[in-house]
Amino acid sequence: MQPRLNPLKTCPEAYEAVRALNAYVQSCGLEHSLLELVKIRASQINACAFCIDLHVKVARKAGESEQRLHLLSAWRDSSLYSERERAALAWTEALTRIADSHASDSDYAALKAQFTDEETVKLSVAIGLINLWNRLMAGFEVAHAVD
């Protein structure tokens, strides 16, 4: 697949703005393992091969298990994820598919049972950010690395 263009090189000032938000999310205090699961799950939904590849590698390097990575798309049917992770993954799916989900009250209630108000906002920003990255990388057909 040939990329349509490289959005990061074509508009570096936009890239720097997104990178600044990325730096905030990485240092916001939410667990890095949780953030990587969220990034991978949103990227799966959005069919962003670049981001799936990147974040699976980051998660592995940080010690995430192969089994949890393989079962992530079926997290609802697995006991491998904590209640906090399950709430975050449900919220990830709700926000990523917001036109269909309308971010339901039940998903929000599950989220609020596991996260403070501040954490809820931080998680929502992280979800919005990975959706932005997915749209840039998938939309411009930026290819994933080949190992």
Q: What does the alpha-carbon distance between residue 87 and residue 3 come to, in Å, rounded to a whole number?
A: 35
Contact in structure between 113 and 87 (CB atoms under 8 Å):
yes
CA distances from 132 to 61, 65, 112 (A): 24, 26, 24
Confidence label for 2 from pLDDT (cuts 50, 70 and 90): confident
Helix (H) or strand (E) holding 116: none
Q: Report, as an integer, the average pLDDT of 123-142.
A: 96
Tens of pLDDT, residues 60-76: 999 999 999 999 999 99
Q: Is the pLDDT of residue 1 over 80?
A: no
Domains of the chain: 11-139 (1.20.1290.10)
Cα angle 46, 52, 56; round to 5 = 150
pLDDT band for 143, please (50, 70, 90 cuts): confident
Which pLDDT tens digit goes with each residue over 93-112? Answer: 999 999 998 999 999 999 99
Alpha-carbon distances, residue 90 vs 86, 99, 107 (angstroms): 6, 15, 6
Taking each continuous run of H as one helix and of E as one strand, the counts in the chain are 9, 0
Taking the model in full, what pTM does it have?
0.94
Mean pLDDT of 132-146: 91
